[in-house]
Amino acid sequence: MSATNAADSQAPWASDIKCSRDNISSFPTRTIGRKCSPQHRRAATKHQTTLLELQQKATLHQADKAIMYRDTSQMSGPMKMNYESEQARILARIAQEDAATANRSTSDNTNSPDISGKS
């Protein structure tokens, strides 16, 4: 939920994207029937795409959370095996994402110039 709120604060709202060059007036300066500029349409499309990606990530996170919190102690054999394999898959994906994040941060540090003065 916090990732969605943080991204919402960075992305422009659709109501902020205007097809008018004059932001002071409350009425659009373009005449009725004129189309918005391609830049405004691209900005609106990018905003919608960003929101959809965030919604998809949040939905997948909630589904993973539900599977991880499931109590398998009272389940039958095949059902228990299914949930345990799903939990293992989720844990492996989380470990892979953490490793990718760690690799990105170390590659950022190795590309930076050495300012320590040691040779």
- What pLDDT, on a 0 to 100 scale, did the predictor assign at position 62? 96
The Cα 1–Cα 24 span in angstroms is 34
- The tokens for 29 are 């300066």
What is the tens place of the pLDDT at every residue in 88-115? Answer: 999 999 999 899 989 888 876 665 555 6
The Cα 93–Cα 99 span in angstroms is 10
Q: Tell me the CA distances in angstroms from 72 to 65, 76, 91, one per residue in order.
A: 14, 8, 16
Q: Tell me the CA distances in angstroms from 16 to 3, 12, 23, 67, one per residue in order.
A: 21, 6, 10, 39
pTM over 0.75: no
